Amino acid sequence: MDGVLTDSEPLINAAAIAMFKEKGLTVQPEDFLPFVGTGEDRYLGGVAEKYHFPLDLPAAKARTYEIYLQLVPLQLKAFPGARELVAACRQAGLRLAVASSADQIKIDANLHKIGLPPEMWDAVISGEAVINKKPAPDIFLRAAERLGFSPGQCVVVEDAVNGVHAAKAAGMRCVAVAQSFPAERLRDADLVRQKISDLTLADLLGRQDVVPHPSSLGPPPAALERVAETPVRPWGFWATLGLTAAMFLAEVIAQAVIIVVWLMASHSAHPGAAARKAAFDGLLLSVGTCGSVPLLLFLAWIFARIRAGSQALSYLGLRPVPRSAYLRWSIPMLVLLALSDLLTYSLGREIVPPSMVQAYETAGFLPLFWLTLMVAAPLGEETLFRGFFFEGLLHSRLGALGAILLSSLFWALIHVQYDAYGIATIFVTGLFLGYARLKTQSLYVPIFLHSLNNLGATLELLWFTH
């Protein structure tokens, strides 16, 4: 990323120099050159070692990023030809990954600013994902694994000496661009070009087929327009709150209409009274939820698209994550469920709430009941609260903490079928789901965890009722 797609090196260099100056040490820009491409830990720690300067690395890195992120919106740009080459690779059917020694916070900021957001890549590997940084080959091997290819099927575009050595150590073809180092220092690469705008698909593929230069390919197709898009600012706090309330109200009305129609079709003598009991009747709950969730998903997508255009799915947090992330977050989810049950038992309360038992006993068609609990409810509720609502609050003055707290609170309060203790339990679960959403930057994880939580509750329901 740095030095290939964007000229971020001067900004991180300036931020690091400013950080050291605040701590009382004057360093020079060239002091950092041996550590370019090795990740921020080594980038800062190497210079501190050179001057025998004691450095609290986590605090120093945090401060460096604070300064860096102030510079990014004002100065960072993509290298000419970078976005065009990415679009050309997409048109040619190639799979693309970013493998950067930088931390995820820097990767996200850079890629969003230059119009190549993380969600348009098939994989994004940060320096935090590997133990050994460049010139070790680990990060490129991890990228190949995520792409589903062997190292010999991959080509690396690099600008740094350490990056070239890492690519070759990984057993990959390496094309270097002399945008950060002189061409003679990159001679270990298989091919060296002066800048990324000079690269062609033939250069990347290592053959001289007649392949058009990226600049001659014209604009990418509609499906690839997001490559050239700049990040959008989400809806503000009040707009997010209002639109979320409107979507929730629309879903409630849709549920009521669906239930009344269902009862009338079933020749119920009192459809209005029965509809008011839908929160406790398993069959009515299932019919209303499964029927209204598609409307909720559609409205969330529409409001996200109005603001974010073709990045609507990303706005809602629908970004893929490695399969290992689901397992990694499932373990604490199960621990939380066990602790919650232990507390409930110690307080002399019933593990399975009476409303849940009543819903199960009146479920009628059990497959529909299971579909509601495992799929429809998690998908609808997470899209609304930790998708659309969360994204708006996250970029408001409330920030991450406010997004986690309010999304959890409002999500808990809609569960009117539970008593105060049950709502409090749901709120705590929501805090964990919000934290998972924040850390993974993906809505898929809380949807999965929500379903897992409901599965655990369902198994307990079956155990205690039978």
The whole-number average pLDDT for the span 99-123 is: 86
Least confident of 51-65, 188-202, 308-322, 426-440: 308-322
Cα distance between residue 374 and residue 380, in whole Å: 11
Same domain, 330 and 361: yes
Q: In this model, does residue 211 exceed pLDDT 80? A: no
- pLDDT for 174-210, tens place per residue? 999 999 889 999 999 999 999 999 998 888 987 644 3
- For 291, the token pair is 């029927």
Burial of 122: CB neighbours in 10 Å, binned 0-12, 13-18, 19+: middle
Residue 2's beta-bridge partner residues? 6
The whole-number average pLDDT for the span 317-335 is: 84
Q: In this model, does residue 215 exceed pLDDT 50? A: no
Q: Closest Cα to residue 200, out of 78, 95, 88?
A: 88
Q: Does residue 113 sit within a domain?
A: no
Which residue in the block uniquely carries the two structure tokens 């879903």? 251
Q: Helix, strand or coil for residue 266?
A: coil
Q: Does residue 311 sit within a domain?
A: yes
- For 275, the token pair is 């509809």
Q: What is the mean pLDDT of the chain?
A: 85
Q: Where residue 231 falls among pLDDT bands split at 50, 70, 90?
A: very low
Q: In this model, does residue 289 exceed pLDDT 60? A: yes
Residue-level pLDDT at 277: 54
Same domain, 246 and 342: yes
Element at 16 (helix H, strand E): helix 9-22
Residue-level pLDDT at 278: 52
pTM strictly above 0.75: no
The whole-number average pLDDT for the span 393-401 is: 83
Q: Does residue 172 sit within a domain?
A: yes
Q: Does residue 400 sit within a domain?
A: yes
Q: Does residue 283 sit within a domain?
A: yes
Q: Where residue 329 falls among pLDDT bands split at 50, 70, 90?
A: very high
User: Which CATH number characterizes residue 164's domain?
Assistant: 3.40.50.1000
Q: Are 19 and 47 in contact (CB under 8 A)?
A: no
Element at 97 (helix H, strand E): strand 97-99
Same domain, 216 and 304: no
Cα distance between residue 297 and residue 344, in whole Å: 34
The 8 Å CB, 24+ separation contacts for 395-402 are: 395/233, 395/234, 396/236, 396/237, 396/240, 397/237, 398/237, 400/438
Same domain, 331 and 432: yes
Q: In this model, does residue 389 exceed pLDDT 90? A: yes
Least confident of 77-91, 197-211, 280-294: 197-211
The whole-number average pLDDT for the span 308-333 is: 82
Q: Helix, strand or coil for residue 421?
A: helix
Q: In this model, does residue 25 exceed pLDDT 80? A: yes
Q: Are 308 and 315 in contact (CB under 8 A)?
A: yes
Q: Are 118 and 96 in contact (CB under 8 A)?
A: no
Sheet with 173-177, strands from edge to edge, namely: 155-158, 173-177, 191-193
The whole-number average pLDDT for the span 233-240 is: 86
Q: Does residue 396 sit within a domain?
A: yes
Please say which residue of 196, 228, 260 terminates a domain: 228
Type of residue found at 444: Y
In angstroms, the Cα distances linking 357 to 151, 286, 337, 464, 465 are 54, 14, 18, 9, 8
Same domain, 362 and 284: yes
By percentage, how much of the chain surpasses pLDDT 90? 41
Cα distance between residue 378 and residue 453, in whole Å: 10
Same domain, 397 and 425: yes
Bridging pattern class, strands 97-99 and 123-125: parallel
Q: Where residue 106 falls among pLDDT bands split at 50, 70, 90?
A: confident
Q: Does residue 10 sit within a domain?
A: no
Please say which residue of 207, 228, 249 terminates a domain: 228
Q: Where residue 376 falls among pLDDT bands split at 50, 70, 90?
A: very high
Same domain, 258 and 202: no
Among the ranges 58-62, 280-284, 444-448, which has the highest mean pLDDT value?
444-448
Same domain, 259 and 328: yes
Count how many domains the chain has: 2
Same domain, 224 and 342: no
In angstroms, the Cα distances linking 36 to 124, 135, 178 are 19, 10, 14
Please say which residue of 205, 228, 251 terminates a domain: 228
Same domain, 458 and 336: yes
Same domain, 171 and 246: no
Q: Does residue 243 sit within a domain?
A: yes
- Tell me the residue range of the domain where 188 lies: 82-101+121-228
Same domain, 224 and 361: no
Q: In this model, does residue 275 exceed pLDDT 60? A: no
The whole-number average pLDDT for the span 44-61 is: 90
Q: Where are the alpha helices (DSSP H) in 267-376?
A: 271-276, 282-308, 312-315, 323-346, 354-361, 366-371
Q: Are 316 and 304 in contact (CB under 8 A)?
A: yes
Residue-level pLDDT at 222: 39
